[in-house]
């Protein structure tokens, strides 16, 4: 389960201050694994959902050729 952004930010902030992960977990009331996960993530931004426009170049090429037939 994803933790609230505020918790993720707190983990990153405390990690940047060299607070041990065990201590971060204790202070924030999260598991050490959760602390490790968010401390090691470069970008905590949510991933954008894929859309139909994310198709490969081949799919676009095939569609264009089918329109011309």
Q: Does residue 20 form part of some domain?
A: yes
Task: Summarize pLDDT for 7-25 with one digit per residue, the tens.
Answer: 999 999 999 999 999 999 9
Q: Does residue 10 form part of some domain?
A: yes
Among 19, 12, 16, 14, which residue's Cα sits nearest to residue 37? 12
Task: Summarize pLDDT for 10-64 with one digit per residue, the tens.
Answer: 999 999 999 999 999 999 999 999 999 999 988 766 666 666 665 566 777 777 7
Contact 7, 30 (CB under 8 A): yes
- pLDDT at position 4, please? 78
Tokens 């983990």, residue located:
11
Q: Does residue 62 form part of some domain?
A: no
Number of independent structural domains in the chain: 1
Q: Does residue 12 form part of some domain?
A: yes
Q: Does residue 30 form part of some domain?
A: yes
Q: What residues make up the domain containing 22? A: 1-45
């Amino acid at each position: 389960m994803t933790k609230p952004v505020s918790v993720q930010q707190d983990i990153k902030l405390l990690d940047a201050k060299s607070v041990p992960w065990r201590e971060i977990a204790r202070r924030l009331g999260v598991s050490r694994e959760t602390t490790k996960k968010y401390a090691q993530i470069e970008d905590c931004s949510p991933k954008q959902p894929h859309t139909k426009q994310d198709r490969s170049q081949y799919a676009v090429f095939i569609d264009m050729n089918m329109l011309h037939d």
